[in-house]
Structure 1
């Protein structure tokens, strides 16, 4: 495991924990761009399920990230989509 990649992931987790719409969106979009891979797919899906914010740009970022997860990891993502905590708009 790359220590720098892990350090950046922890930074992104802090953004995704925020209550600020654009901080969360930043974390989600960066996770989508750099962490949807074999090593992090489970973490990404878990975080997409944890995020709960009413902001339009958060919901759209999560939906976008999940679409990329599905393209790269269709079975894992489909399993997640069958059992998730997404709001109806994001789903």
Structure 2
């Protein structure tokens, strides 16, 4: 069954897009990238029957980026919270790039934010690059609007890592927090609670946002 899915993935191959993707994900071997645009991959999910999907999800590790991305989309589409958590815990050790990590945003989590928090805390403290990145993304996706609390900023601000893909996500999180919860977030920039590189990158990304006013951008620039 997995071979059948792999064959269908190669039928969707776009070589030029593979070359483009390889530049965006330089930390993985280009030969493990098929080259499939996201809409085509999402459409394929709809065409895979349940038996085939269940078999595919059990076959780890995968070889190709798009197999991993497909796996991530399948997890995100689950309707049961506990099933998603179980599938994520099994999948995290095999995630080796930001693109696969960032494909997974389960809609079910929005209705289960209280249940999700202990798992986020576990991921943030795991030391596993893409589990940490995923945990920060979940705080960014589901806890910067009506569920926002200042202590969520603290959870991210205290993270220290040498991993580029963690630090970039921290910067992205704080830049997004500045667009949504400016008054609560800007003291973290003023007090330089983030490491220097992450601090500067968060300011840069926030200043690139259209949701930040010109006055706010000017002030943030003064805090570099």
Pairwise TM-score range, normalised by the shorter structure: 0.7 to 0.9
**Over 3 Å off, 4+ runs:** none
Rg comparison, structure with higher value: 2
Whether the aligned pair in 1 keeps the contact of 2:143 and 2:149 (CA below 8 Å) is yes
Cα distance, 1:82 vs structure 2: 1.4
Correspondence for 1:57: 165
Q: Report the Cα distance in structure 1 between the residues aligned to 2:138 and 2:178, rounded to whole angstroms.
A: 17
Equivalent of 1:35, from 143, 146, 153? 143
Q: Report the Cα distance in structure 2 between the residues aligned to 1:41 and 1:59, rounded to whole angstroms.
A: 21
Cα distance, 1:52 vs structure 2: 0.8
Q: TM-score, normalised by structure 2?
A: 0.38
Structure 2, unaligned runs of 5 or more: 1-110, 200-224
Change (3 A) 1:81 1:38: farther
Structure 1, unaligned runs of 5 or more: none
What does 1:1-91 align with in structure 2 at a 5 Å threshold?
A: 4-91=112-199
CA-atom RMSD in angstroms:
1.9
Cα distance, 1:79 vs structure 2: 1.3
Instruction: Flag the structure with more relative contact order, 1 or 2, with Cα contacts below 8 A and sequence separation at least 6.
Output: 1
Q: Deviations over 1:5-36 (max 9, x none)?
A: 11101111110111111110010011101111
Q: Report the Cα distance in structure 2 between the residues aligned to 1:48 and 1:11, rounded to whole angstroms.
A: 14
Q: Report the Cα distance in structure 2 between the residues aligned to 1:44 and 1:62, rounded to whole angstroms.
A: 12
Q: TM-score, normalised by structure 1?
A: 0.87
